[in-house]
Amino acid sequence: MRTNKTFKFICLVISFVCVSTLISMIPTSVRMIETGSGVLSSYMSDTKFGIESNFYNSRAFDDDLIGYLTDISSRSVRDIGDDKADKDYKEREKEKKLTQETLDEIVNAKYFVINNDTKEIYTNTEYKTSQDFVKNISGECDVKIKSEDYNISYDKKVGEEEYSKPNVNNQLGSRMALKNGEIYISIPENFTNYMNHYDQIYQAKIDFDNNIMYMLIIIAVSGVAFVLGIISIILYKRNKSYLFEEDSFWLKMSKVMPLEVYLFGLFLAVNFAMQGMYWGYDIVGTFFSCFFGIGFIMTVFYIFNRQMNTYDNKLDIFKTTFIYRILRLLKGIISKIVRESRGITRSMPLAKRIIVIGIICLFINVIGWIMDVAAYSYIFSLGAAVISLVGFTYYVLKKLSYLSYIIDGTARIKNGDIHHKLTLVGDDNFTELADNINNIRDGLDNAIDSQLRSERMKSELITNVSHDLKTPLTSIINYIALIKKEEDIKPEYLKDYINVLDSKSKRLKVLIEDLFEASKASSGNIELNMEKIELTQLLRQSIGELDEKLSESNLDLKINVPEEKVYIRADGRRMYRVLENLLGNISKYSLPNTRVYIDILEEDDRVKLTMKNISSYELNFDPDEIMERFKRADDSRNTEGSGLGLAIARDLINLQGGSFKIDIDGDLFKSIVEFNSIH
- Condensed to tens digits (0 to 9), the pLDDT of residues 51-60 reads 777 888 888 8
Predicted confidence at residue 143, as pLDDT, reads 94
Greater pLDDT, 626 or 119: 119
CA of 25: how far to CAs of 22, 284, 285, 469, 625, in Å?
Answer: 5, 11, 12, 118, 94
Phi-psi map region of 108: left, alpha, beta (phi>0 left; psi -120 to 50 alpha): alpha
Burial (CB < 10 A; 0-12, 13-18, 19+), residue 360, is middle
DSSP structure class, residue 315: G
User: CB within 8 A of 655, min separation 6: which ones?
Assistant: 521, 524, 526, 528, 574
- Pick the range with the lowest mean pLDDT from 149-153, 294-298, 336-340: 336-340
> What span, in angstroms and rounded, lies between the C-alpha atoms of 46 and 342?
88
The burial class, CB within 10 Å (0-12 / 13-18 / 19+), for 531 is exposed
Q: How high does pLDDT run on average in the chain?
A: 77
Q: pLDDT exceeding 70 applies to what percent of the chain?
A: 75
- Residue 485 pLDDT class (50, 70, 90 cuts): confident
* Run of H or E including 567: strand 567-571
Residue 286: what pLDDT?
74
Average pLDDT on 209-231 reads: 82
* Chain-centroid distance, C-alpha 306: 45
Q: Cα-flanking dihedrals φ and ψ of residue 645, to 5°?
A: -60, -50
Choose from 291-305, 376-390, 605-619 the range with maximum mean pLDDT: 605-619
| Percent composition of the chain: helix, strand, coil (DSSP 3-state, to 5) | 60, 15, 25
Distance CA 176, CA 147 (A): 8
Query: Which segments within 109-169 are labelled E, that is strand?
Result: 110-115, 120-123, 141-148, 151-158, 161-165
Instruction: Out of 151-160, 317-326, 344-353, 577-586, give the one with best mean pLDDT.
Output: 151-160
In Å, the largest CA–CA distance within the chain is 167
Per-residue pLDDT averaged across 70-82, rounded?
85
Structure confidence at residue 277 (pLDDT): 60
Residue 165 in this model has a pLDDT that exceeds 70: yes
Amino acid symbol at 30: V
Cβ atoms of 603 and 656 closer than 8 Å: no
- What is the SS3 string spanning 499-535? HHHHHHHHHHHHHHHHHHHHHHHHHCCCCCCEEEEEH
Burial class (CB in 10 A: 0-12, 13-18, 19+), 616: middle
Q: What is the DSSP letter of 422?
A: P
376: confidence class by pLDDT, cuts 50, 70, 90? low
CB 558 within 8 A of CB 597: yes
What's residue 446's pLDDT?
73
Listed residue (184, 171, 169) closest to 76, CA to CA:
184
Arithmetic mean of pLDDT, 293-304: 78
What letter does residue 57 receive in the DSSP assignment?
A: G
232 φ/ψ angles, rounded to the nearest 5 degrees: -65, -35
Q: Which residue has the higher pLDDT, 206 or 110?
A: 110
Crossing angle for the helix pair 645-655 and 493-523, to the nearest 10 degrees: 30
22, 167, 213, 238 from 225: Cα distances, Å:
7, 45, 18, 20
